[in-house]
Amino acid sequence: MDTILNAIGRPVPTELDGRTLKPFSGLSFDTSGNKQYSPRIPAACHYKNKLLDSLDKAIDACDIKDGMTLSFHHHLRNGDGLINLVMKKLADRGLKNLVLAPSALFPVHETLVELIESGTVSHIEGSMNGPVGRACSLGKMQKTAILRSHGGRYRAIQDGDLHIDVAFIAAPCADAHGNANGLVGPSACGPLGFALADSLYADKVVIVTDNLVPFPCYPWSIEGGHVDFVVTVDSLGDPGQIISGTTRITKSPTRLLIAEYAAELVEKSGILFEPEFSFQAGAGGVSLAFVQYMSERMQASHIVADFVRGGSTRYMVEMLENGLTKFILDGQSFDLEGVRSLRENPHHIETNPFVSYNYHTKGCFASKVKVSVLGATEIDLNFHVNVNTHSDGWLLHGIGGFSDAADAGVTIITAPLMRNRVPIVVDRVTTVTAPGESIDVLVTEHGIAINPRRQDLTDRLKHSSLPLKTMQELHEIALAMTGKPEKPEFADRVVALVEWRDGTIIDTVRQLVPKD
């Protein structure tokens, strides 16, 4: 395997599994210019009746063969029942070497490990949260997995790097034409945007629904004009795991302090008072608290955001309903209040990775966000961030929207200085998900480090009471508490590629040699 050092000094292969790879070359590298993938031209006369009453009939109709690439979305999260169901059927049919291209996998998909071991699945192009990632770390896949961000996945499909033969789209609400959304029904999940690229570019598109409604199903997050078959099933999964009844803010004093620091930073830097204020925060413990603290500060200063970006939760919905933001731009809803608001409030807008995150567009929303608050498993002295592996080397997380959301005006990483006596601020991250160039601030409970590239931010904050420190100082504080951590041992084999959002390779994940 030939390797080359990329722009941040990580060795990456130039070719793998017959695919030519480009090394990461910096944030403003231009990988554009080629032609997008062009789907085949269909004719409407062949699509008069798309309705099928079983998954088996759809599998028959799609003529799935060994080696094909199948895709799924992850809007049903840990409540998804479809991936396991379809893949089991394909395994039972004796299919081999399938490429599985989900937008993400969750612990509920642990059963796929068997299909990887048996050769039904050759490898995964997509996010792996939990057990399947663990299997990847152990080298169980025949070929190299590929990790992409939400925007990067859209890009890869649009650009033809990831060709999907058959897309199975779990649809909480759909009509017989294939128009579909995620807003109503027993499996309601909110937006359905992670499946958009699949619907536009896959050869065959199968809508699978447990809630068939009369035409027209509206909004049509997925448009029937792209859909080959509509299949009805009894249930798409476990509603209790698809969406939280309600999300709750952390009670951890450490995490609350980190969120408070982050909110104070946004205020004291003056960013809060600049025109067109907006922010993005997710549904993690710190993020929810950050949303709440920002709300309080905005209310006190009579600030109305132009928009906030979710994953939406009831805390964001409260902002919208209390007039603290004009819009929620929502890629996925994390609780029932998020889904209700998206369904009812015309200022709560469903987005998809094309409009939000895709770097290979004529602009996307990510760069319009003023402040983005993101988590990490590690961050290092160069501000490089890892969200995929842990310090012990296990691949346990997808990229999510990290690389895309890091395009915000100010990208803030919030993280405790250590977790389970393992430091989060390290000398060198195990895996680089995003380059330091894209990261502006680290906020920990022990202090705040501002990227030296952002002298402007340091200048704005130097008279504040915020505990500004260098990354080196934070690293030393961490080490003083944890001692020097053991490094994991890796074999030579690359088990996963980490793509930057433009399709270049920013790092690799190597096979782990387990400790015992």
Contacting positions for a copy of itself (CB under 8 A): 27-28, 30-48, 50, 158-159, 177-178, 205, 214-216, 218, 220, 223-228, 276, 306-307, 326-327, 329, 346-347, 349, 354-355, 358-365, 367-368, 407, 502
Q: Is the sign of the CA dihedral 67, 88, 104, 37 positive or negative?
A: positive
Through-space distance between the first and last CA atoms of the chain, rounded to whole angstroms: 28
The smaller minimum CB distance to a copy of itself, of residues 27 and 381, is found at 27
The smaller minimum CB distance to a copy of itself, of residues 53 and 344, is found at 344
The smaller minimum CB distance to a copy of itself, of residues 41 and 300, is found at 41
The smaller minimum CB distance to a copy of itself, of residues 358 and 508, is found at 358
Q: Which residue has the tokens 């990208």?
A: 411
Q: Round to whole Å and give the CA distance between 406 and 411.
A: 5
The smaller minimum CB distance to a copy of itself, of residues 112 and 434, is found at 434
Q: Round to whole Å and give the CA distance between 182 and 327.
A: 19
Element (H, E) at 305: none
The smaller minimum CB distance to a copy of itself, of residues 302 and 362, is found at 362
Asked if residues 471 and 442 have their Cβ atoms less than 8 Å apart, the reply is yes
Q: Round to whole Å and give the CA distance between 281 and 123.
A: 31
Q: Which residue has the tokens 């330091």?
A: 436
Three-state SS at 341: helix
Minimum gap (Å) between residue 160 Cβ and a copy of itself? 8
Give me 407's structure tokens.
């395009």
Q: Round to whole Å and give the CA distance between 353 and 256.
A: 30
Minimum gap (Å) between residue 169 Cβ and a copy of itself? 13
Task: State the DSSP code for 312.
Answer: B
Minimum gap (Å) between residue 32 Cβ and a copy of itself? 4
Q: Round to whole Å and give the CA distance between 509 and 309.
A: 30
Minimum gap (Å) between residue 214 Cβ and a copy of itself? 6
The smaller minimum CB distance to a copy of itself, of residues 31 and 458, is found at 31
**Dihedrals phi, psi of 85, to nearest 5 degrees:** -65, -50
Minimum gap (Å) between residue 357 Cβ and a copy of itself? 10
Q: Which residue has the tokens 């709750």?
A: 248
Minimum gap (Å) between residue 170 Cβ and a copy of itself? 19
Minimum gap (Å) between residue 37 Cβ and a copy of itself? 7
The smaller minimum CB distance to a copy of itself, of residues 20 and 420, is found at 20
Minimum gap (Å) between residue 275 Cβ and a copy of itself? 9
Q: Round to whole Å and give the CA distance between 422 and 433.
A: 19
The smaller minimum CB distance to a copy of itself, of residues 274 and 276, is found at 276
Asked if residues 153 and 357 have their Cβ atoms less than 8 Å apart, the reply is no
Minimum gap (Å) between residue 297 Cβ and a copy of itself? 21
Closest CA to 502 of 47, 168, 191, 153: 153
